[in-house]
Amino acid sequence: MAIDLGDRIIVAENVEVDMDTLRRAKDIGHEMPHKRLEAALEVIKAVEKALYPDDRKRLELYMRGNDATI
C-alpha cells in the first residue's frame, strides 16, 4: 500500500553531537576512513533521535519504500 508522506523535509530540534564527532565525520582526508564512517553514523543516529515523532514515522515509511510520491 502506498502512503503519501508529503514533502521530503523532516524536522529535528536540539540535536546533540559533540564537536569531535562532527570533526571526524567531516574529515574527508582522514587516514582511517572507518573512523569517519563511524562518526557519520553517530551524527545520523543523533538526528534520528531528535526527530519529531511524526517525522520519525514518515522517515521509517520512506526508508521502507512505502511512498509512491517520493
Mean pLDDT of 5-30: 84
The larger pLDDT score, comparing residue 51 to residue 3, is at: 51
End-to-end CA separation in angstroms for the chain: 14
Structural domains of the chain, count: 1
Per-residue pLDDT at 28 exceeds 50: yes
The torsion angles phi and psi of 67, rounded to 5 degrees, stand at -135, 115
Nearest to 59 by CA among 1, 9, 2, 14: 9
Number of neighbours of residue 16 by Cβ within 10 angstroms: 7
Nearest to 56 by CA among 66, 67, 65, 47: 47
Residue 1: domain span:
1-70
What pLDDT is attached to residue 19? 93
What pLDDT is attached to residue 47? 94
Mean pLDDT of 33-60: 92
pLDDT band at 62 (very low <50, low <70, confident <90, very high): confident
